Amino acid sequence: MATHEPFCRELRITGDASLLRERPCVKELRPTSDADVGAVTDVVIIERSVRDPETFSTIFDRHAPHIHRYLARRLGVPAADDLVAETFLAAFRRRDRFDTTYPNARPWLYGIATKIVGQHRRNEEREYRLRQAYVPATSEASHANRVATVVTAQSLRRPLLEALARLSDGDRDVLLLIAWEGLRYDEVAAALSIPVGTVRSRLNRARKLLRERLGGAPASTIEEVLSNG
């Protein structure tokens, strides 16, 4: 069976033209932490990029691994490889409209990526139904309890994915940005351009529906399955 070769992606900006060049990966991209970002915030870089477009490539370097992971979880790796480029090209074209009250661009990029996912909703639903279960290795600590949780999570994975596919687009987007990407309520609100109160109501509605469709499974078990993507 053919394997999908990973690619490193380099964003090169020249004037108003945006090019994404692919080359085979020597090593996998490592998601950056807040410590990696250093003293120069995203908002400073984006403001500079309005005058000097090449500067925007730093935003790609910082956040592409996170956005790629999110897209891969929602649509699969092959689609993510294409759509991460589309996400950053869209962000580049909108950089002059970035809300400078937010020093971190990642929620903004998640919002753009989520809209792109919405354009591929049918494919996403198909991926939910076809994705195979994945359970990470258990640790030695609390081994018996962990095994029991994993076994339960395995049995719930397929019905959970089917339940996710039945959520409304807005409820699913909120749930996955929080469960998968660890965004705070205010960051989800910024990403999706909705009030924090709407984030809370959508999340509560999504969790309630999942519990109902999974026969009242404990919230901790549902979170376990979700967090493992």
pLDDT in tens, the chain (229 residues): 333 434 444 555 444 444 444 433 423 445 454 434 456 899 999 999 999 999 999 999 999 999 999 999 988 898 898 899 999 999 999 999 999 998 999 999 999 999 998 887 665 566 556 554 444 444 454 555 554 455 455 566 677 778 888 889 999 999 999 988 999 999 999 999 999 999 999 999 998 888 888 776 666 666 666 766 5
Q: In angstroms, rounded to a whole number, what is the distance separating the alpha carbons of residues 107 and 118?
A: 16
CA dihedral 39, 43, 47, 53 (to 10 degrees): 80
Indicate the pTM of the whole model.
0.69
